[in-house]
Structure 1
Amino acid sequence: MDRLGLFIAMMTWTLVSGVIIVLFMSLGYVGWVQFGVAVILGFALGLPLAKVISARIKRQDPDWDEKRNRPDPTPDAEVDVGDGEPRRRI
């Protein structure tokens, strides 16, 4: 998952958990079990929702290049820069 997806995941986890907590409290269910269920459901539902939102943002962005998001398949190699220490390829 990319950085945008992780950033959105933090917000969706909080949003989904908060909505479920408010729902439980408005129905009169208050306790640590209900808060635990809300947190677990927030994590379980928030991550897929974050992936969908991230993909939608990227699809609508005309400047997004999918090739930049792929990891480099070659391992880091030593690159000789002439005099001095060799640097790692980034």
Structure 2
Amino acid sequence: MKKRKIPMRKDIVTGEMAPKKELIRIVRDAEGQVSIDETGKKSGRGAYISINVEVAKKAKAEHVFEKVFSTELADNFYDDLIAYVDHKQARKELFENGK
């Protein structure tokens, strides 16, 4: 059976390549609104960050998404991102250990 190609994306904070399923997509839509793309299918310019709270905190400290999307973001965006990443990381650890 033929092996399936795994789509890879670059984490904009660390610069490391990782499988798309192990990353979270942040998207800026046509109106300039930046949001977390939970489905990975929203239209707009996307950037990826790994499911790691420390990486999300580093993104907040360096205002990474403001640089990538050339826009101003409120601090609560980063707080929401950190909370979302923390939730995803906890789920990932829970289900990996359950195997």
Q: TM-score, normalised by structure 1?
A: 0.35
Higher relative contact order (CA 8 A, sep 6+): 1
Could you state the TM-score of these two structures normalised by the residue count of structure 2? 0.33
Structure holding more strand per residue: 2
